[in-house]
Chain A
């Protein structure tokens, strides 16, 4: 049990005309080693929720437990929490500021007050994980390509050795190749480093392939929580929220409507291919 969210509420601009409910009574438990997709339309509260998990925003009401301990407890160290729960913001390359890639990645571990040796080891490890070799270390982060910048920014968070990694729309603004690279990297981090991953996205298509659990947010509330195939069964409701199920879901349902009884639990193109071949051979 890594993170437990209990009856979380958040109101922006309380008691003014601008008052707005961003989160309404959210309950969620995230286990160690899970790979979760957090899906929602723009303004559904998904980014607000993630900023609560490392204490950047304080809940109006409710509680969050990290490894069984309330993060709102008096004297709880937010700094430690933020090193344990790494948050990669949307367009993280906008936070780069150092003269070279290596120093930028060092910023996080340096803030943790580690020794110089440890800082450099961690920075090297992190850059290694995101697939940037030594030739990049002394380059200015501003001269890299979009995808490379994003890797540097992700390495900056990884260098703090988080137990939970939250990525807010990590593929926004990248080309298909860059998108697949980043998602592949996230999958690798989950498998090899055993980091708990929360992948925030508005695109089902992106996450369906990777995650083992989907949480769907709409207008500040958690509406669905389950395996991708469970959630995609509600594809009509998802559509009403402005979210679409992966295209393959529509293909499967269209086939079923025509009497080709392919399994409803198909969520990826590969699974659909196998299922169709199975039916074909019968």
Chain B
């Protein structure tokens, strides 16, 4: 259980910068999720923390210990790989206790530790099998078991669920969260799946093009995104964005002309000139009157909710409605945004007024 301090870490592969200056603090026993689109640098950052990649510049501390140049095995980290990286020629028990074998722990003790961890992960009957004889979910648990056996200070997970089917993914997600509560270790988890990020994290670090876009608890990020990238990345379906021009401003009210053709009055104290209007699908309603007009292009009934795709003169907007929505494709509709849930962004994407009351 250590706290991690990352200061000014950059990483380039040849001429290509992948991390462009990361500053980050991760607390004791915290579960932090790195999330972002592919190529944002999240896996590279994890690998720099593990020591599998050398940072081009910057420093990493575990508590007060500078580990920037420490060998991976001496950092006290264990990693669960996306591919699980189980050694195919060794049994489950041998796989799990490889680190102990390399550390010279005698065989009976290794076996005892393997059995202890196997019990925790329901792997006991599989201890003497080879990985080829296991299902995907079982292999995944062996990979986690291998990490637990090492009793590391920090657990690193590199997209560990992406090779599992949807049902198993949810189950394992819950399992990992429970594991974090039981062990209380510091855990860093990399994923491109914002649902995993939202459900598992104490804090989420959103990365974009090698920089930290925003750090915060899942709900903070969801409710008060620092920029249009974060706003668009978290939430499913993603936030609707409409280009907007400021017409006038008076006190705490701004009048905007939306690209879809109509004007709207927003109660917000924007700090800068507004260029983009953002509203989440769940905060748009189909109404008789509203500032945005369009034609329904498609309707998706998902059971508990309905997604309505509305084509306006500028963009296609998504509305998340209740399960009983009766709208049909081809209907002319008006959309009304919930006034308290509007996000406004400047031309460079910075949030200039979040949805303060939401």
Decide if A and B are genuine partners: no
Q: Which residues of A contact B (CB under 8 A)?
A: none
